Amino acid sequence: MNGLLTRRNRIMKHTVITALFAAALLSLNINIAEATTKSPQVDVVQSQNQHHSININTAPVQELVLLNGVGESKAKAIIDYRTSHGQFDSINDLAKVKGIGTKLIEKNKGVITL
Q: Which domain holds residue 70?
A: 54-113
Cβ contacts of 108 within 8 Å, gap of 6 or more: 54, 67, 68, 69, 70
Tell me, yes or no, whether 92 and 64 share the same domain.
yes
Tell me, yes or no, whether 5 and 32 share the same domain.
yes
Q: Write the CATH number for 103.
A: 1.10.150.280
How big is the chain, counted in residues? 114
Look at residues 19, 34, 50 and tell me which one is the last residue of a structural domain. Answer: 50
Kind and range of the H or E run holding 112: strand 112-113
Tell me, yes or no, whether 77 and 102 share the same domain.
yes
Per-position DSSP letters for 37-105, written without gaps between them: HHHHHHHHHHHHHS---EETTT--HHHHTTSTT--HHHHHHHHHHHHHH-S-SSGGGGGGSTT--HHHH
Q: What is the pLDDT along the chain (114 residues), one digit of tens a residue?
A: 566 668 778 888 888 888 777 777 667 665 555 555 554 544 444 344 345 899 999 999 999 999 999 999 999 999 999 999 999 999 999 999 999 999 999 999 999 999
How far apart CA 72 and CA 78 sit, in angstroms, is: 10
Tell me, yes or no, whether 107 and 75 share the same domain.
yes
Tell me, yes or no, whether 39 and 65 share the same domain.
no
Domain count, the chain: 2
Tell me, yes or no, whether 59 and 108 share the same domain.
yes
How far apart CA 100 and CA 114 sit, in angstroms, is: 17
Tell me, yes or no, whether 2 and 23 share the same domain.
yes
Tell me, yes or no, whether 34 and 68 share the same domain.
no
Tell me, yes or no, whether 60 and 102 share the same domain.
yes
Tell me, yes or no, whether 36 and 60 share the same domain.
no
